[in-house]
Structure formats: structure tokens, C-alpha cells
Amino acid sequence: MLDSNAPAGRHFLNALAIDRAGTIYVSDSGTPGIYKLAPASDHLELFAGADLFHATQGLALSDDDKTLFVADYTDGLWAVDMASKTKRRVDAPADVWLGGMDGLSRVPDGFITVQIGVKPERVLHLHLDAAHQHITRVDILEMNHPDYAGPIQGDVSGRDFLYIANSQLPLADPHTGVIPVDKARPTVILRLPL
């Protein structure tokens, strides 16, 4: 349940990140924001609202839990200091546009993300510098797969990235989220070796 400080509007709770203490952070893609759920609590507390972000999507924590990385669909990758709740842009090379990112999965040298705000849609590897201040390189790992029908976020498992190729979100009723049975298709999960 959202706490009483939650902004009014349509909420679409999306990506999760869990710190070592068991606190869960979840992005809201309907009314931009990030909520946190403390262990043993049943209320989502507003952690960061629309004053910080325009379109919150993927989340990932740093190894020391001091920084929350946020994929903002409109304008790329950000880092939020967990203590002060201030954000800074994680700079990318000048020739790279990182809008349209959905998920954000940690790998030792950066992140894997599904970029759906471009055509063709693709999976990217964002390489970070040692201080996590800058994206030093962006590699396209997969693009325009024949099973794509609204690809969305995934997660790293061992040496593979597993992600949903056909979310079918465009088929859902915008008010209820229900996908009509006659239009629904089996979910396709792709395995991408890293």
C-alpha cells in the first residue's frame, strides 16, 4: 500500500532494487517517483518524487548501497546519493543517446539495459569508469531480434542476461492493465550470453 505522501495520479510500479538490509526500492512509471519498503513494513514510503525524475524506470544499487542508479526514460542514467537524495547525471559519450531505457541490471563493469525508446530496439552494455562517474563505452549486445514485440527489462543470471522479448504491454487496457485473452501470446524470454 502506498503511504499518504504518495502523489495523486495513476501509479505503475515497475523495477525493483533491494539493499543488503532488505529494504526494497521500486520505481513508479505512472507517476514518476521511487518508493521504498522497509523490512517488516506494509507501506511504500515515497523516497524520490517527480521533482527529481520525469520517467523512472530501471533501478540498481552500488555495491556499498550508498548510490541508487536510475534509468530515466526521458534523459538517461542518473546516480542518487542515498543519504542526501541528490542526483547527478552519469555522463555518456557525446555521440550516445540513452533515453528510452527500461531496465537496469548490474554487471561488474557497469550495467545491461534494454533500450526501447529507439528503433530498432536493443540491449546495451553500459561500461562505467572505476568511480562510476562516467559511461566510457556503450556496446549493442542484441538488436531487432525477430521475437521482439515490446521487449522490456531483464536480469543477469550467471554469465547470461535473461529478458522478456514480448511484453505485450501495448495490448493492455490502459485503465486496467488487462490483456484480452484472444490477443495474448505466450511470453518469450531470451537468453543473451554476456
Position of cell 561488474?
Answer: 108
Cα dihedral sign for 38, 128, 117, 104?
negative
How many whole angstroms separate alpha carbon 44 and alpha carbon 166? 29
CB 99 within 8 A of CB 117: yes
Q: Per CATH, which fold does 13-150 belong to?
A: Methylamine Dehydrogenase; Chain H (2.130.10)
Q: What is the DSSP letter of 134?
A: B
Per-residue pLDDT of the chain (194 residues; tens, 9 = 90+): 666 666 667 777 889 999 999 999 999 887 888 999 999 998 889 898 878 888 899 999 999 999 999 999 998 999 999 999 999 999 999 999 999 999 999 999 999 999 998 999 999 999 999 999 999 999 999 999 999 988 999 999 999 999 999 998 878 887 777 888 998 889 999 999 99
pLDDT at res. 6:
66
SS3 of residue 93 by DSSP: coil
The cell for 166 is 514480448
Length of the chain: 194
Position of cell 514518476?
Answer: 32
Backbone angles phi and psi of 70, in degrees to 5: -130, 125
How many whole angstroms separate alpha carbon 80 and alpha carbon 86? 6
Counting Cα atoms < 13 Å in the Cβ hemisphere of 132 gives 22
How many whole angstroms separate alpha carbon 56 and alpha carbon 71? 6
Tell me, what amino acid is at 136?
T
CB 54 within 8 A of CB 75: yes
The cell for 151 is 521487449
What residues have CB less than 8 Å from 182, skipping those under 6 apart?
none
